[in-house]
Structure 1
Amino acid sequence: MPTPRQAHAHRLSALLVVLIAGALASLHGTAAAPGGQAAPPPNVVVILTDDQGYGDVAAFNPASRIPTPHIDQLAREGMRFTDAHTSSSVCTPTRYALLTGRYSWRTSLKKGVLWGNGDALIEARRPTIASVLKARGYHTAAVGKWHLGIHWAARPGAQVDRTTTQGPTEWIDYTQPFSGGPLDVGFDEFFGIAASLDMRDYVYLEGNRVVEPPTANLPGIPQGVPGFHRPGAAAPSFRPETVIDEVTARAVRVIETQARASTPFFLYVPFAAPHTPMLPTGSFVGRTPLGPYGDFVAQTDAAVGTVLAALARTGQADRTLVIFASDNGPAPAGGIAKLLDLGHDAAGGWRGTKHTLYEGGTRVPFVVRWPGVVKAGSVTRRTVVITDVLRTVADAVGAPVSDGAEDSVSFLPVLRDPETSVPLHEAIVMQSDAGAFAIRQGKWKLLLAPGDGRASDIGAPPDGRPPVQLYDLDADPKETTNLQAAHPEVVKRLQDLLARYERQGRSR
């Protein structure tokens, strides 16, 4: 029989083991299970909508005229970020930044987006969320709009065009497997489309092959119409209006399959909606007073709800970390001015839209739900950027990130405590469609452009405007008063900081 001193020592040792286990679980984002063992790492679901503005979610804009009950419920059950940004105000750069934790302007893509014929943008062996989690034992799946380029197989003797512009696609051999896509950057499975739904060619991809070659033709719908898409070759069975349903169904199938598996899963769902073509269907037609744009946003919310319902139905909701965001601000193609006349501000009161450097171009709805870790209904004003998702998810599941993710900072401490003062970014960088830069540090935001940063602005002749703009977002959140002349020292400091980030190849 142990002596009282030995018994006391044994109890202290046991307590120490439990405390260490709890501390390690906290460090890695997992709760301590009964018996002092760390709970299994969470599933991770990242949902990205396309061109959905800050004001297009009622949880972020109480005056919204679009019902978004499912995203609103996610916000009530999780944490709402009111100062979350994408790294760019257009599609491809944001997707690259999200998956790699690195600004896309460090690649060959200095402006604009890729097209359906564009070459693979994510470099071989570059760490991604998928590859990091796969190494941790996760099953990894992507379903939806890829828009990060593909290295297509070429027809023998064809004139190959892998440019980032909308070049010819006749050289592509759709009967052969492609490379450089999702399966080559860490995903175990993929189903979706190569680029935006208004970009040819119109085919579904599964794994590393085209499901059905584009032997038919899809007539285009002109710009200025909500259903706008470019003409191009299409698979005979491809219907743009059913893509949102196909993507949703495939995402649900992944959840249902993986719920029966013994390993955790990572599911990335980049919807192609409510980007053009805005094609609401069924009961969603006429759902809002705003026409096709509002109706399509409502249908997108319902699709998000279907994915979340699958998590609940399969018993996975309580053990899944869900991140929801949009890839940039609302698109002018949605008829922003008309929406304002109808009482709906898609940008949620912020200046600018998709394509621009103003807040409306990059400040997006951003929600994180993680039962047992994130306090339901919490809100944070901490500034985060889409690159941060990689290191945050890696920290949450206890996965090491030995290299890469040069512009990613984990905001896991914020998820645990929205009031924490732990340092995050020194500054964040954003880019317009034309490649113009903005850098944000605290209340100060510097735009390295005379106007909104779009191609039409960058290429315009000098008109007497200052070449840069400086705004105090605390005092002037709508970016109305340029303070560059009053604070040249701030302008220089931010210019020097951006130059350092470019020079050293990282910002963290």
Structure 2
Amino acid sequence: MRLKSNILKSYMAIAIAFSGFQSFAQTKSKPNVIVIYTDDQGAIDLGSYGANDIYSPNIDKLAKEGTRFTQAYVAAPVCAPSRAALLTGRYPQNAELTGNTSAEPGSDGLPAEQYTLAELFKDNGYATGHVGKWHLGMSQTSSPNAQGFDYSFGHLRGCIDNYSHFFYWEGPNIHDLYENGKEVFYDGQYFPDLASDKAINYVENHKNEPFFMYYAINMPHYPYQPTQKWREYYKNMAKPRADYAAFISTIDERIGFLMDKLDELGIRENTIVIYQSDNGYSTETRAFGGGGNAGPYRGAKSSLFEGGIRLPTIISWKNNLPENVVNDQFLMNIDWMPTLAKLCKLDKINTKIDGIDLSKMIENPKKTTERTSGFWKYGKQWVVRKGNWKLIGFPKDTSNKGELNLEEDALFLSNLDEDVSEMVNLASKYPEKVKELTQEFLAWEHGHEKDIPKKIETVSNLAKGGKISATTTVNQKYSDLNLLIDGKLGYTDYASGQWIGQEGKSMEFVIDLNKIKPIKTISVNSLNNSGNWIFPVQAVEIRLSDDGKTYGGLKTIKRDTKQPKTENATERLTLNIGEDSRFIKIKVEGIGNCPKGHPGAGFPGWFFVDEIIIE
């Protein structure tokens, strides 16, 4: 009996061992996936990416345990469309989300019919969780739970105060913290810690089943609110870099907490971890003009120069993918969906995507990437990249690293293999390459002839060669008043360098024609782009003078409010004058505050003028 018992125990041990091996093999066939997406992080702002003034040991360790990419891109230079591209594997234009979403309650974002990474993993038996920032819509149909996430915790708008959890940048102040669609309150508790705890809890609660977690960290996006521990660490560094760097270390510390939990649970080797930033660092006013660093790259957030879209990106699957690799091959965030589907052996993606499966290149870094070209389109800016050549239409440099000439740089060509700085436009040197890439852009489904820069339109203007001065305060960003009388109309893009803008208030100018001239009409050309809080000029007032001291009667024209608005287009208000004069005092009035129903209702709206045309 004892012999039989021992034999039975041996068989049981073997069976248990085999069962355990089988269970392990099944688990290995479905690895967990964590995608960590940071917010407004500069291109080199990690120790592993060359920042010698930032302490980031946990993320640097992640890079050593996997692959660090040096040519990884996102499909848009701002938050929402970048996230839409990541989650759908599609260009933002095909994901139907090309700009940041509204903060207005109930407003739509990512359409419900878009198929997301969360839905892909859920359809393949995974638990799916979202922790952190969403910024893909305020409506129920575009909420995380409606887009494939079984669990969600975080804020729905673009940013929040990390202690009150209020959004206060657009419209009335509003609390913005939700768990599975229900508003929750953690007054005074530090949001990065709340999110970290929720992410760790999610991992622990799903350790026995395959899971996909989208950990959308809301840092280093403004407001800069790092912990006191890290503020003290960087106390000798100048601001805003100090607060920004402290925020990066705050991120790093919390990623360390998460990685420690994976190790503690024994699932680190069965978890694919991806780390990437959503777009370049911010140079917005609320970010104190910067804090981040793009290193050799030109551009920042909102720019399609490299600094806005070429970002820190890491993949690590310990003991399953190559480790301590620096990969300089081309990759885009839209590629993660098919790449992860392959690595995780998921069923076929039953929707059309723009991403490319790059798993073979990741598994074997010596293999040439399947991605050889890419397209971007954001506002008036667009890019086509083919091989090492990159062509930008209507470039915008939010890093202010150099001047852009409106006419000569409307098409900007670079060879990234020879110079990643994009400080020298090669368009005039290689016109055939410009032509080739322009045709590539036009062949793309979202490239149109109207997107191609045309020759600057010139107009006859009696004021050209005259003098212009402002009698009211001028916005310092738009202070070259000579642009208003240079006889050139700007491209329909307020950031193109030809426009003079004002926020909320009116502007008044005095134009000196140098001598008395017969004046038939005076026109003001303005821009309408309500998505950027820009509205057409509402009224123009004019007084004339022969000596610049005594001005005659008031002449006024108001905008026809019934006039249909065409987004991202120009409008012109024209007054009939029929008098001779030398000096013209002209007052231009904007909308004041954004109108009711607009996401910025009650806040100052902008107007932009590119020419005061005197005929």
Contact 1:469 1:482 in 2 (8 A): yes
Alignment of 1:156-171 (within 5 A): none
Q: Distance in 2 between matches of 1:197 and 1:503?
A: 30
Q: Which amino acid aligns with 1:70?
A: N
Alignment of 1:93-242 (within 5 A): 93-115=81-103, 117=105, 119-151=107-139, 178-198=140-160, 199-200=167-168, 201-212=174-185, 237-239=186-188, 242=190
Contact 1:90 1:113 in 2 (8 A): no
Match of 1:389 in 2: 336
Going from structure 1 to structure 2, the CA distance change for 1:471 and 1:373 (only over 3 Å counts) comes to: same
Match of 2:518 in 1: none
Contact 1:132 1:401 in 2 (8 A): no
Contact 1:86 1:430 in 2 (8 A): no
Q: CA RMSD in A?
A: 2.7
Tell me by how many angstroms 1:437 deviates.
1.1
Going from structure 1 to structure 2, the CA distance change for 1:293 and 1:42 (only over 3 Å counts) comes to: same
1:367 aligns with 2:307: no
Per-residue deviation, residues 216-267 of structure 1 (Å, max 9, x unmatched)? xxxxxxxxxxxxxxxxxxxxx444x7111111110000011111x3x20001
Q: Distance in 2 between matches of 1:196 and 1:111?
A: 12
Q: Distance in 2 between matches of 1:352 and 1:68?
A: 23
Q: Distance in 1 between matches of 2:121 and 2:260?
A: 24
Tell me by how many angstroms 1:375 deviates.
1.4
Per-residue deviation, residues 98-124 of structure 1 (Å, max 9, x unmatched)? 000011123554444443547333222
Match of 1:252 in 2: 200
Tell me by how many angstroms 1:40 deviates.
3.0
Per-residue deviation, residues 147-174 of structure 1 (Å, max 9, x unmatched)? 00021xxxxxxxxxxxxxxxxxxxxxxx
Contact 2:108 2:138 in 1 (8 A): yes
Q: Distance in 2 between matches of 1:329 and 1:100?
A: 20
Match of 1:280 in 2: 226
Q: Distance in 2 between matches of 1:35 and 1:251?
A: 24
Contact 2:58 2:252 in 1 (8 A): yes
- Secondary structure of residue in 1 paired with 2:132: strand
Contact 2:93 2:446 in 1 (8 A): no
Q: Distance in 2 between matches of 1:324 and 1:348?
A: 19
Contact 2:103 2:138 in 1 (8 A): no
Going from structure 1 to structure 2, the CA distance change for 1:279 and 1:116 (only over 3 Å counts) comes to: farther
Q: Distance in 1 between matches of 2:37 and 2:27?
A: 30
Q: Percent identity?
A: 30
Match of 2:427 in 1: 484
Aligned counterpart for 2:245 among listed residues 294, 303, 311: 294
Tell me by how many angstroms 1:203 deviates.
2.2
- Secondary structure of residue in 2 paired with 1:94: helix
Tell me by how many angstroms 1:406 deviates.
1.9
Q: How many residues align?
A: 408
Aligned counterpart for 1:414 among listed residues 351, 357, 361: 361
Q: Which amino acid aligns with 1:39?
A: K
Going from structure 1 to structure 2, the CA distance change for 1:287 and 1:424 (only over 3 Å counts) comes to: same
Q: Distance in 1 between matches of 2:39 and 2:104?
A: 17
Tell me by how many angstroms 1:490 deviates.
1.9
Q: Distance in 2 between matches of 1:496 and 1:425?
A: 19
Contact 2:298 2:306 in 1 (8 A): yes
Aligned counterpart for 1:44 among listed residues 33, 36, 42: 33
Contact 2:107 2:137 in 1 (8 A): yes
Contact 1:116 1:195 in 2 (8 A): no
Q: Which amino acid aligns with 1:448?
A: G
Tell me by how many angstroms 1:427 deviates.
1.0
Tell me by how many angstroms 1:36 deviates.
8.9
- Secondary structure of residue in 2 paired with 1:322: strand
Q: Distance in 1 between matches of 2:101 and 2:259?
A: 30
Aligned counterpart for 1:427 among listed residues 352, 373, 377: 373
- Structure (1/2) with the larger strand percentage: 2
Alignment of 1:461-480 (within 5 A): 463-480=406-423
Contact 1:101 1:390 in 2 (8 A): yes
Contact 1:468 1:484 in 2 (8 A): yes
- Secondary structure of residue in 2 paired with 1:332: coil
Going from structure 1 to structure 2, the CA distance change for 1:274 and 1:473 (only over 3 Å counts) comes to: same
1:443 aligns with 2:443: no
1:493 aligns with 2:436: yes
- Structure (1/2) with the larger helix percentage: 1
Contact 1:51 1:330 in 2 (8 A): yes
Match of 2:257 in 1: 306
Per-residue deviation, residues 292-350 of structure 1 (Å, max 9, x unmatched)? 1111111111112112111111111010000000111111144567x5xxxxx711221
- Secondary structure of residue in 2 paired with 1:121: coil
Per-residue deviation, residues 398-448 of structure 1 (Å, max 9, x unmatched)? 113343352111111122111102x5224112344x351112111101101
Match of 1:78 in 2: 66
Match of 1:68 in 2: 56
TM-score by length of 2: 0.62
Contact 2:112 2:141 in 1 (8 A): no
Contact 1:116 1:149 in 2 (8 A): no
Which moves more between the two structures, 492-501 or 183-192? 492-501
Going from structure 1 to structure 2, the CA distance change for 1:436 and 1:428 (only over 3 Å counts) comes to: same
Alignment of 1:300-379 (within 5 A): 300-333=251-284, 334-335=287-288, 346-379=293-326
Q: Distance in 1 between matches of 2:289 and 2:130?
A: 31
Structure 1 gaps of 5+ residues are 1-31, 152-177, 213-236, 340-344
TM-score by length of 1: 0.75
Going from structure 1 to structure 2, the CA distance change for 1:486 and 1:276 (only over 3 Å counts) comes to: same
Q: Which amino acid aligns with 2:147?
A: V
Structure 2 gaps of 5+ residues are 1-20, 161-166, 169-173, 449-615
Contact 2:231 2:246 in 1 (8 A): yes
Identify the structure with bigger relative contact order (alpha carbons < 8 Å, sequence gap 6+).
1
- Secondary structure of residue in 2 paired with 1:56: coil
Contact 1:33 1:39 in 2 (8 A): no
Going from structure 1 to structure 2, the CA distance change for 1:400 and 1:491 (only over 3 Å counts) comes to: farther
The structure with the larger Rg is 2
1:264 aligns with 2:210: yes
Going from structure 1 to structure 2, the CA distance change for 1:372 and 1:205 (only over 3 Å counts) comes to: same
